[in-house]
Amino acid sequence: MNSFSMIKLVMAREIRQRMRSKGFAVTTVLLCVAILGMGVLNRVLSGDDSPTTYDIAVIGEMPAGFDDATQQAAQALDVVIKFENVGTRADAEQLVRDGDLDVAVDASTGELISESDPSDQLTAAMNAAWQSSSSLRAAEDAGLDPGQISTILSPAALRPAVLDGGKDSDDGLAMGVGFATAVLLFISINAFGGLVLTGVVEEKSTGVIEVLLGHVRAHQLLAGKVFGIGVVAMAQLSAAILTGLIALKVSGTSVPSGIWVGLPSTLLWFVCGFVLYSTLFALAGSFVSRQEDAQGAAAPISMVFTAAYLTVFVLGNAPYAPATRIVSVLPPFAPLLMPLRISIGAASGVEIVVAAVGLLAATFGMLRLAGAVYGRTLLHRGSRLHWKEALRMRSARSG
Amino acid sequence: MLDVRGIAKRFGDVVALDGVNLSVDRGGIIGFLGPNGAGKSTTMRAIMGLIAIDRGTITWDGAPITADVRRRFGYMPAERGMYPKMTVRDQLIYFARLAGLSARDAASSADVWMDRVDISSRSGDEVQALSSGNQQRVQLAIALVHDPELLILDEPFSGLDPVAVETMKTILLEQIERGTSVLFSSHQLDLVSDISRNVVIIDAGRVVLEGDVRDIRERAEFRYAAIGFAENTSWQPEYPGVQIIERHPRSLRLRVPDSQDPTAVLADANAAGRVVEFSFAPPDLSEVFLASINRRSPERDAERDPDSSTDRAAVG
């Protein structure tokens, strides 16, 4: 049987066993519910999208064009203004007090009547309408004809000239998504890398490794375990990302277009990051014979990984800084930092390529290194091996 | 044929194996005996490629054992080795697949072997839910599920109830009939001689006795004589090298050098009182075993094999 089919068999077992575990189902569902929940919450908190409606009344004779000007101002400010018919100022004041009217305008005194301070939007709309209709009356009084009046009062609006090629200015949201992605990748690599670690130690502590190695070469076992658990991790992460995209839709926020592509491409960074770190976790697992020693052996890797994670928060806020550019292409950091920089559009094509090539090379090198010593460290019994001793070991088995 | 020639292994300052030779023919079975730490497990692990030997060769049909060859072996380690959270059936199918069986063959072989070791009713249970005796049945089935050419069984009988022992014996004898070669270790010497006429006894990493059980017993340098008298006796045998092992009012048990003519002893006893019972026999296997080990015992404690710390069961 060739090496690939052996790896496939080992992978299949990992996938089947992990997918069937209750823990996997529960965490996946919880993760998706949490992500969807954030989207729904955001929607609820930001209210519905229909514009605010104000009820107003006018007392006395308004300048001609006031109604039109009011509606124009309302449109510009994205609100709806409805006129109510009211007889006297006393009636209007009563209705304002009762809350049936938001404001009333007294044409004779030029007052805006409200119970407390009216909203800025409404004040702005009423002022704009009042001033433009007053100007119209003044212009008519001055004897201008309607054409001149229109030229004076309705100059052409400013045309937009965006310098940055129409780039989304919504960096805040992209940054948020970027950070959320980094958190998700960190949790995922930690959780599933942890499964690789305990999986390797389980094989050693139960002695099943002795039977396995009669059939499978150590490096095939390593590859099958890392890739198999990787597939399970990918399944969960894909579900989370898909839910995230749905949550963004549901939340009703306008989403920078880059995210629809950037978020799924996160999976590629995840794959490399996961393989890199879990190969190290698997190696660490092969140094010990008891489950209770596993965390100790993996501590150096966890520390490096956590440091990389914290760096995301230190450097993520300055995505264009030189330090960020350099650190983000280094293999231990790239899986967490690059997706963030890509999602806010801060990473240049060259940086992405350099980071990807570097990460792939590091991952490949790690697999080779682990494959070379794993056969020996797996069969080590008793006290915990140290990295130096382990790396000095050559593979025990030929054939 | 499995051929182990002069293999040696040191763990630091400890000599675990010191030139062990043994061979198992096609369809042959060898009982592998020795006290705790003698090097039985280390030898078996060396055959399975689980430790690198310092010296010597291990071949199958004259060729070195590669990963592909080893896939045709079945191994049952002294420490049981299974995935605790995998079901019995999945476990068997997995190992059969790793040994190269197709999905369909693996499934049918798993079902056949669950039935053979009488564990079918637990097929969907996780291994960790089984009693240790039942786990051992599964372990045996794992070793056999891919129809191996050579079986390496480290203490297959330890911890089994008498019913399971019978099942295990029957299966081993069937395997030999089918042409499978078997190397198994045990502390239960009577069991060993029930199953296998050929044994290899090692101590402190060296083979101290080997061959047919009957030959080994006959080759022993002493015999046992039991003499029963009609009445109480104070008879004292006076031959060089003859020792009284047990003495009762009307009977004695003697250890007699094999050079001694038994009829002379009988005649002498008969002269001292009427003899109603007389037996003369070579020592049984466990007595030969103990004798061969006692001869070397001072060295043994110094050269304990740390790798076989699992050979805990009592000798004999």
- Model-level pTM greater than 0.95? no
Residues of A in contact with B73 (CB under 8 A): 214
- Please tell me the predicted confidence (pLDDT) of residue A282: 92
- Please tell me the predicted confidence (pLDDT) of residue A156: 65
Helix (H/G/I), strand (E/B), else coil: A11: helix
Residues of B in contact with A216 (CB under 8 A): 98
- Average pLDDT score, chain B: 87
B79 vs A9, A17, A207: nearest CB: A207
B307 — pLDDT class (breaks 50, 70, 90): very low
Across the interface, whether the CB atoms of A379 and B48 are under 8 A apart is answered no
Across the interface, whether the CB atoms of B67 and A399 are under 8 A apart is answered yes
Decide if pLDDT at A148 tops 70. yes
Average the pLDDT over B155-181 and give the result. 90
CA A259 from centre of chain? 8
- Please tell me the predicted confidence (pLDDT) of residue A38: 79
Residue by residue, DSSP assigns A281-347 as HHHHHHT-SSGGGHHHHHHHHHHHHHHHHHHHHHHTT-TTSHHHHHHHTSTTTHHHHHHHHHHTT-S
Across the interface, whether the CB atoms of A399 and B68 are under 8 A apart is answered yes
Across the interface, whether the CB atoms of A211 and B100 are under 8 A apart is answered no
Decide if pLDDT at A162 tops 60. no
pLDDT digits (tens, 9 = 90+) for A201-252: 999 999 899 999 988 988 899 999 999 999 999 999 889 888 888 888 777 7
Find the helix or strand (DSSP H, E) in which A173 lies: helix A171-205
ipTM of model: 0.79
pLDDT digits (tens, 9 = 90+) for B267-276: 888 888 899 9
Decide if pLDDT at B292 tops 80. no
Average the pLDDT over A84-91 and give the result. 82
- Please tell me the predicted confidence (pLDDT) of residue A169: 47
- Average pLDDT score, chain A: 83
Q: Which residues of A touch B (CB under 8 A)?
A: 1, 6, 9, 13, 16-17, 202-203, 206-217, 379, 381, 396-399
- Please tell me the predicted confidence (pLDDT) of residue A51: 67
Region of poorest pLDDT, from A70-79, A340-349, B7-16 = A70-79
B99 vs A208, A215, A397: nearest CB: A215
Decide if pLDDT at A88 tops 50. yes
Across the interface, whether the CB atoms of A216 and B48 are under 8 A apart is answered no
Q: Hey, what amino acid is at A172?
A: G
- Please tell me the predicted confidence (pLDDT) of residue A306: 93
Decide if pLDDT at B304 tops 60. no
- Please tell me the predicted confidence (pLDDT) of residue A82: 82
Burial of B305 (0-12, 13-18, 19+ CB in 10 A): buried
A174 against A232, higher pLDDT: A232
Decide if pLDDT at A168 tops 50. no
Closest Cα in chain B to A11: B94
Residue B176 CA to residue A11 CA, distance in Å, equals 35
Q: Enumerate residues 125 to 184 of chain B having a beta carbon within 8 A of any beta carbon in chain A.
A: 142-143
Percent of residues, chain B, with pLDDT higher than 70: 93
On whether any CB of chain A is under 8 Å from the CB of B71, the answer is yes
pLDDT digits (tens, 9 = 90+) for A111-144: 888 888 777 778 888 888 888 778 877 888 888 8
pLDDT digits (tens, 9 = 90+) for A5-14: 999 999 999 9
- Please tell me the predicted confidence (pLDDT) of residue B312: 35
Region of poorest pLDDT, from A154-168, A359-373, B88-102 = A154-168
List for chain B the helix, strand, coil content (%; round to 5): 35, 30, 35
Percent of residues, chain A, with pLDDT higher than 70: 89
Sign of the alpha-carbon dihedral angle for A301, A303, A304, A309: positive
- Please tell me the predicted confidence (pLDDT) of residue A56: 86
On whether any CB of chain A is under 8 Å from the CB of B217, the answer is no
Decide if pLDDT at B316 tops 60. no
Decide if pLDDT at B149 tops 90. yes
Closest Cα in chain B to A213: B50
Q: Which of B150, B99, B2, B76 is nearest to A211 (CA)?
A: B76
B179 — pLDDT class (breaks 50, 70, 90): very high
Q: Hey, what amino acid is at B1?
A: M
B288 — pLDDT class (breaks 50, 70, 90): confident
Average the pLDDT over B242-259 and give the result. 90
Cα-trace Rg, chain B? 23
Percent of residues, chain B, with pLDDT higher than 90: 54
Across the interface, whether the CB atoms of B45 and A399 are under 8 A apart is answered no
Average the pLDDT over A279-292 and give the result. 89
Q: How far is CA A358 from CA A91, A327, A384, in A?
A: 76, 12, 31
B301 — pLDDT class (breaks 50, 70, 90): very low
Residue A97 CA to residue A114 CA, distance in Å, equals 8
On whether any CB of chain A is under 8 Å from the CB of B72, the answer is no
Average the pLDDT over A35-43 and give the result. 79
Across the interface, whether the CB atoms of B68 and A207 are under 8 A apart is answered no
Q: Which of A198, A233, A228, A230 is nearest to A216 (CA)?
A: A228
B314 against A62, higher pLDDT: A62
Q: What are phi and psi of A338, to 5 degrees?
A: -65, -45
